[in-house]
A and B are shown apart, each in its own frame.
Chain A
Amino acid sequence: GENVEQHPSTLSVQEGDSAVIKCTYSDSASNYFPWYKQELGKGPQLIIDIRSNVGEKKDQRIAVTLNKTAKHFSLHITETQPEDSAVYFCAGLPSDKLIFGTGTRLQVFP
């Protein structure tokens, strides 16, 4: 079955710097890769997603890149702000079940 690995598990950056979180997946049938942000005490919230026929997608300060050949995808956050501090999860969708990575705790220091 699908296995999604996520790195790093924790990431600390200074406000204004960029943050990059990387995920690899094992099942080449995966064709949808979302990223979720989870704030303390809340449920995960979808922030951006990408499908396998696209190499990159941007939404303001957030971007996701996908390399199907290498089976990895990354989340890029530019000009980080304290409110970006949260846990971020990547996921892959090989069939009809989302398989999540183990999460990255991002801390943005003012």
Chain B
Amino acid sequence: NAGVTQTPKFQVLKTGQSMTLQCAQDMNHEYMSWYRQDPGMGLRLIHYSVGAGITDQGEVPNGYNVSRSTTEDFPLRLLSAAPSQTSVYFCATSPGLAGVEQYFGPGTRLTVT
């Protein structure tokens, strides 16, 4: 089992560009989530999903879109990248519906210039 995979590992964007961060899991978990990690601020929830076709906002959703068409995949879209979105992004999954026992992917380091 690969667990939680994220692509790409690194990405540099220019302000205004759009892109999609990919997250895939092979553990058949219903709950998936996206976090961003910034120095001194811990991990902050962007969006989450409790199953295919269901998504909801976290603490910092502005500037990001998500969709969940399958159990396995949960892509995060940056609509128009801004320097404030420079961060490390983590995808996580959970076997429960409430976000307990989350398994994190290896992360995507995004720089917006």
Question: Do chains A and B interact in one complex?
Answer: yes
For A103, give its contact among B35, B42, B107 (CB under 8 Å). Answer: B42
Asked if B43 and A46 make an inter-chain contact with CB atoms under 8 angstroms apart, the answer reads no
User: What residues on A are CB-neighbors of B85 within 8 Å?
Assistant: none
User: What residues on A are CB-neighbors of B90 within 8 Å?
Assistant: 43-44
- Contact count A vs B, C-beta below 8 Å: 57
**How many residues of B sit at the interface, in one of the four size bands?**
20 to 34
User: What residues on B are CB-neighbors of A103 within 8 Å?
Assistant: 42
Asked if B59 and A97 make an inter-chain contact with CB atoms under 8 angstroms apart, the answer reads yes
Asked if B50 and A43 make an inter-chain contact with CB atoms under 8 angstroms apart, the answer reads no
A97–B48 CA distance with the chains assembled, in angstroms: 8
Check B40 for interface membership: any CB of A closer than 8 A: yes
Question: Chain A: interface secondary structure?
Answer: loop
Check B97 for interface membership: any CB of A closer than 8 A: yes
Chain A count of residues within 8 A CB distance of the other chain? 22
Asked if A43 and B107 make an inter-chain contact with CB atoms under 8 angstroms apart, the answer reads yes
A102–B63 CA distance with the chains assembled, in angstroms: 23
A2–B59 CA distance with the chains assembled, in angstroms: 11
Residue of A nearest to B91 (CB): A43
- Residues of B whose CB lies within 8 Å of any CB of A are 4, 33, 35, 40-45, 48, 50, 58-59, 90, 92, 97-107
- What are 17 of the A-B contact pairs (CB < 8 Å)? A32-B100, A34-B100, A34-B102, A43-B4, A43-B92, A44-B43, A44-B104, A46-B102, A46-B103, A49-B101, A89-B42, A93-B98, A93-B99, A98-B45, A98-B102, A102-B42, A103-B42
